[in-house]
Structure 1
Amino acid sequence: MKPGITVVVPTHTARVRNGMAKRAIGSVLGQTLPAASIIVEHDIAGAGAPDTRDRGLRKATTEWVAFLDSDDQMKPVHLERLMECALETGADYVYAWYKAVGFGVDPLPHFGRTFNPERPTQTTITTLVRTELAQSVGFREPPEGALIDGERYGEDFLFTVECVKAGARIVHLPERTWLWNFHGSNTSGRADQGDARIR
């Protein structure tokens, strides 16, 4: 693996047309720690975010990989702060938190809480992970009806759980380094929801 960070951005036609993908990519290009490469993986067949993100991940050849959904944005220091945290702590996987934009409530359910591998919690998908670890785990849609604490979970939580099983050291950086843009048609990774249905 080459030094540096690859940023994987899964997207689809609606996000290209409405400018969200361009905005997301612009936020990656504006980082104080530049990405070595950016992989924009387009979901043409309606496979959904888990499959699209995984296809992009398989193309990464740098030591680290970061993820950004195409309707969100990184603040300029996002990659720099996550990398600093990874190097300082020896982490294999680092996640910060987001500032919600366009959402009435500012959700902070796990912000500032030390990650507990004995009881994994939602970390968001906007993470920095060692590429070999991420590729060994991969992304996939959870089985239908899969619940944790009575609630359905997504591919991001499943990815985190599998990283824990692989022995990853996961560290939370208690800073808000990216923007979660709530726009009423967020798809939660599903190809049958929201603006992902627009082709």
Structure 2
Amino acid sequence: MKQDIPDVSFIIAAYNAAATLGKAIDSALAQRGVTVEVIVADDCSADETKAIAESYADRNVRLIALARNGGPSAARNAAISAATGRWLAVLDSDDTVDPDRLRRMISRAEKAGAEIAVDNLRVIRADGTPAETMFAEDALARMPTLTLAAFIRSNALFQTTHNFGYLKPIFQRAFIESHALRFDESLKIGEDYLYLASAMALGGRCVFEPLAGYDYNIREGSISRVLSLHHIDAMIEGDKAFLRNHTLDVEAAAAQEFRAKSLLRGRAFLVLVQNIKDRSILGTIRTAWGTPSAVGHLSMPIAARANRVIASLRKLIGPQADLTAIDGTTRSRKG
């Protein structure tokens, strides 16, 4: 007898996730109104991650053990290739989802004839502060679809506004397979962004579900809290590959130009900070002169550190130096 095709394949990339994996799997299996399979791709964990996944074998949870550590993209790709569900839902191994999340999202997508759906998120911090919803529900309700241009523009680096790059989409598997779309395994940052951007560039229509159904846990030590020059360089190279593979309409191209400029400003800022830390006056002046906005017009998670090194530079070159402090905060994206 042929096994029924599940409505949803949950894709969980796991690496040393023993402390949180069980909760993630339980939340996936608790979905109401849809049938579910869970695929855990273990990326050569050194803890009990594999054993935890194997303990769910009788509940339609499959374990794929990667032969070598390849990072989250490689793990997700392995799971996607093994998936059988009508929809693919990526779930981070330290996050959870509401019981009605997939029912709501699939219903909204199918009514609209969309290949992609995203919903709101609840942000949960490790310090125990009250959870908050990332986006205002009424704002998302007025924005029934997410366009490629809006998505790209929201992903400009170090902006103060909320970023659609944090969204956790679900994808119609037939659409993904028809385009052989996979995560870029060469990227260690920004791969989620490029995957969704590529799906929309290929013609995938994305609808919003305003309710928050995904619990997004922020942990210390994520890539965005320690953003380095090589991360920005990787994002710039990823964007170049994206542009080689896809043709953008006028609005999306303008948004891409806006994002590209933000990456260059962000790069200049990190170079500026390093010059200040190295007490390189010539390097600092050269970077600030070449990209003035790097000094005072970026809002980023390393602002406190930047202000400290700017204070050091004031001491170095004199108390009357007119150097503007960097203000603002951004949410942390896990890496």
Question: TM class by shorter-chain length?
Answer: 0.7 to 0.9
Q: Which consecutive unaligned segments of at least 5 residues does structure 2 have?
A: 45-67, 153-163, 225-335
- State how 1:119-138 maps to structure 2 within 5 Å: 119-121=150-152, 122-124=164-166, 126-135=168-177, 136-138=180-182
1:102 aligns with 2:125: yes
Amino acid at match of 1:132: A
* 1:51 paired residue number: 74
Pick one of 87, 93, 107 that aligns with 1:64.
87
Farther-moved stretch of structure 1 (31-40 vs 91-100): 31-40
Specify which structure has the higher proportion of helix: 2
Identity of aligned residues (%): 22
Over the residues paired in the alignment, what is the CA RMSD in angstroms? 2.8
CA distance in 1: counterparts of 2:220 and 2:70, whole angstroms? 21
CA distance in 2: counterparts of 1:142 and 1:125, whole angstroms? 21
Farther-moved stretch of structure 1 (28-37 vs 66-75): 28-37
Specify which structure has the higher proportion of strand: 1
Number of residues paired by the alignment? 178
26 and 143 in structure 1: CA distance in 2 versus 1, 3 angstrom threshold: closer
Pick one of 118, 134, 137 that aligns with 2:149.
118
Q: Which consecutive unaligned segments of at least 5 residues does structure 1 have?
A: 145-152, 189-199
The higher radius of gyration belongs to 2
1:9 aligns with 2:12: yes
Pick one of 148, 151, 174 that aligns with 2:210.
174
Q: Conserved in 1, the CA contact under 8 Å of 2:87 and 2:173? A: yes
Q: Conserved in 2, the CA contact under 8 Å of 1:68 and 1:125? A: no
Amino acid at match of 1:72: D
70 and 187 in structure 1: CA distance in 2 versus 1, 3 angstrom threshold: farther
Instruction: Describe the superposition over 1:20-77 as per-residue Cα deviations: whole angstroms up to 9, x where unpaired.
Output: 0011001011111344311011111332111111110111122211110001000111
Farther-moved stretch of structure 1 (115-124 vs 47-56): 115-124
* 1:89 paired residue number: 112
* 1:192 paired residue number: none
CA distance in 2: counterparts of 1:38 and 1:143, whole angstroms? 24
CA distance in 1: counterparts of 2:136 and 2:176, whole angstroms? 25
Amino acid at match of 1:42: D
CA distance in 2: counterparts of 1:126 and 1:3, whole angstroms? 20
Q: Which has the higher contact order (CA 8 A, sep 6+)?
A: 1
CA distance in 1: counterparts of 2:72 and 2:91, whole angstroms? 11
92 and 115 in structure 1: CA distance in 2 versus 1, 3 angstrom threshold: same
Farther-moved stretch of structure 1 (81-90 vs 96-105): 96-105
1:86 deviates by 1.2
Amino acid at match of 1:28: A
* 1:28 paired residue number: 28
**TM-score, length basis structure 2:** 0.48
Amino acid at match of 1:118: A
1:123 deviates by 4.5
CA distance in 1: counterparts of 2:146 and 2:167, whole angstroms? 15
* 2:183 paired residue number: 139
35 and 154 in structure 1: CA distance in 2 versus 1, 3 angstrom threshold: farther
**TM-score, length basis structure 1:** 0.78
